[in-house]
Structure 1
Amino acid sequence: MTESAAMAGTRDACFEFRGATQTLTVLELRYFDMEMFEKNLRDKIRQAPNFFRDLPLVIGLDQYEGNLADLDFFQLIGCCRTHSIQVLGVRGGDEDVRRLARNASLAWLPAGRAGHPLPDPAEGDTAEAATEAHADSDAAPGAGKVVTQPVRSGQQVYAPEGDLIIMAPVGAGAEVLAAGHIHIYGPLRGRALAGVHGDSNASIFCQSLEAELVSVAGHYKISEDLQDSGWREPARVRLNGDALVVDPLGR
């Protein structure tokens, strides 16, 4: 027996599986034309240069109108990687799509299993990207979470149940997520994602709307879309049907 094998025999298992909730962007593909796909992708990225940098992406096929058997996932992957977007998997389709995805080394998810389309528009601080601001929060089971300290670039705060209340600013490059409402008693300069499990009645409240991205139940707007209504003012972000709207607070 080698020394390394002997040492391994006296230690715990070198890994364990854990369930985790992650936000993933779903690209809902309606049809595929390589030239048009790349043009549309470039146009999206041009809106905010760091919007999709190193973004993990799932290709959604629920709305696809063409012949799924003709899809070339290698072309899709190559185009996305050219723009620093990492395709992780495919959602929807039949057994033929599952086989095509496997051949392209992509994960396959049944329809409706990839979560909500939640893009990440900011680069953030890579040295702190995995840091979560648990130390600054108080939580009770089912009662949401209260954060009393600023949420800084690269930090993520997540309330998997109930509302998230932040008694401080949310900085650029930070991300806050909640199953219910999000209340921010300060400026919102990072990303805020409410109703992440699909609650369309959730809202985002903030004292100054300066966000990189806001999302409710998977419907989102980036900063360029927000600057015509409520920008740098107290605001509520909510869903009206399938449209995300911004209402001034106090009216």
Structure 2
Amino acid sequence: MPKTTLPIEIKISTVVAISTILHSADPQAIDTALEQMTGGVSDFFEDEFAVIDVAAIAHEAPAIDWPKLVQLLKKYRLNAVAVRGASPAMIDAIRANGLALDDGTSGARPPEAAPPQAAPAAAPVAPVAAAPEPAPEPTPAPAPIPAPPALAPAIAAMIVDTPVRAGQRIYARGADLIVTATVNNGAELIADGSIHVYAPLNGRALAGASGNAEARIFALSMQPELVSIAGVYRTFDEGFPSDLARQPTQIRLVGDRIDIQALASASPRA
């Protein structure tokens, strides 16, 4: 195959980024919250890309100190690359600090409205002729039976049959992730859909990575280090709940809280 002579190539690539949703612009409050979230673990985020979501505070927060915020996230090994939900007043400062703007639409724009059509000129009025006798009304045809609604296409699934080692990351883009072998400590599973592990789950599992709050995490033996659904995290620094550890378990999002439930039980466990 001939080697390209171009000094650079551009290809589309899929990159997973963590949403850091701000409810305060106070660096001290953010630092304290991140310290509590990570439990002081220096490699908690492992140099993940981060999108800073300011939609909740964009119209009421004072001017954000972007350089300080970027450095604060870097302290916890989060590399800020873009800002989502920014107000127009923030845009210049965001760009001046080398951050991209993310509107969450992947560049899609609403269609432009069609220009209003001019009203047609009025036709000359013709003399009114006597109306003919109305013809008998035809018998209406029976209404057609509507076709049944089409079924939504089933979400695809990525299947992994080999053990997932420490330091290994697997991402099922736009799909569920099914793993039939052990997920070791230090490994990371990411899926836009649900995650199913038919073996021990010991590493990190992040379901609904694109924002699907209905995604779930299932495992025949649950002992994860961290779980996340639609960006809501929970860590287990003090160990997984003892009554559910290494048992068939599912994890789901209820409101803004991670719930843990035995697969044979109907009672959720916060």
Instruction: Answer whether TM exceeds 0.5 for this pair.
Output: yes
Q: 8 Å contact 1:200–1:217 — kept in the other structure?
A: yes
* 1:76-155 mapped onto 2 (5 Å cutoff): 76-110=69-103, 143-155=156-168
Matched letter for residue 253 of structure 2: L
**Change over 3 Å in CA distance of 1:178–1:84 after alignment to 2:** closer
Q: Kindly name which structure, 1 or 2, has the bigger radius of gyration based on alpha carbons.
A: 2
Specify the alignment match of 2:8 in structure 1.
Answer: 15
How many residue pairs match? The answer is: 215
**Are 1:62 and 2:55 an aligned pair?**
yes
Specify the alignment match of 2:256 in structure 1.
Answer: 242
Which has the larger helix fraction? 1
Work out the CA distance in 2 between the residues paired with 1:217 and 1:87: 19
**Change over 3 Å in CA distance of 1:22–1:207 after alignment to 2:** same
SS in 1 for 2:237: helix
Q: 8 Å contact 2:59–2:87 — kept in the other structure?
A: no
Q: 8 Å contact 1:47–1:224 — kept in the other structure?
A: no
Specify the alignment match of 1:230 in structure 2.
Answer: 244
Specify the alignment match of 2:206 in structure 1.
Answer: 193
Work out the CA distance in 1 between the residues paired with 2:193 and 2:210: 8
Specify the alignment match of 1:180 in structure 2.
Answer: 193
Matched letter for residue 206 of structure 1: A
Matched letter for residue 210 of structure 1: Q
Work out the CA distance in 2 between the residues paired with 1:161 and 1:81: 28
**Change over 3 Å in CA distance of 1:87–1:212 after alignment to 2:** same
Q: Deviations over 1:122-155 (max 9, x none)?
A: xxxxxxxxxxxxxxxxxxx964122111011222
Specify the alignment match of 1:169 in structure 2.
Answer: 182
Matched letter for residue 159 of structure 2: V
CA shift, 1:60, in A, is 1.0
**Are 1:43 and 2:36 an aligned pair?**
yes
Matched letter for residue 37 of structure 1: I
Q: Deviations over 1:63-104 (max 9, x none)?
A: 116645611112212333344432222112123211101111
CA shift, 1:168, in A, is 0.5
Q: 8 Å contact 2:39–2:237 — kept in the other structure?
A: no
SS in 2 for 1:19: coil
Specify the alignment match of 1:203 in structure 2.
Answer: 216
* Structure-1-length-normalised TM-score: 0.73
What RMSD over aligned residues (CA atoms) do the two structures have, in Å? Answer: 2.7
Matched letter for residue 251 of structure 2: V
Q: How much identity, in percent, do the aligned residues show?
A: 31
Matched letter for residue 221 of structure 1: R
Q: 8 Å contact 2:222–2:246 — kept in the other structure?
A: yes
* Structure-2-length-normalised TM-score: 0.69
CA shift, 1:159, in A, is 2.4
Structure 2: where are the runs of 5+ without partners?
107-153, 266-270
Work out the CA distance in 2 between the residues paired with 1:168 and 1:70: 49
Q: 8 Å contact 1:144–1:160 — kept in the other structure?
A: no
Q: Looking at both structures, which has the greater relative contact order when contacts are Cα pairs under 8 Å and sequence separation is at least 6?
A: 1
**Are 1:75 and 2:89 an aligned pair?**
no
Specify the alignment match of 1:158 in structure 2.
Answer: 171
Q: Deviations over 1:164-207 (max 9, x none)?
A: 22110111222222232221111111122222333333221111
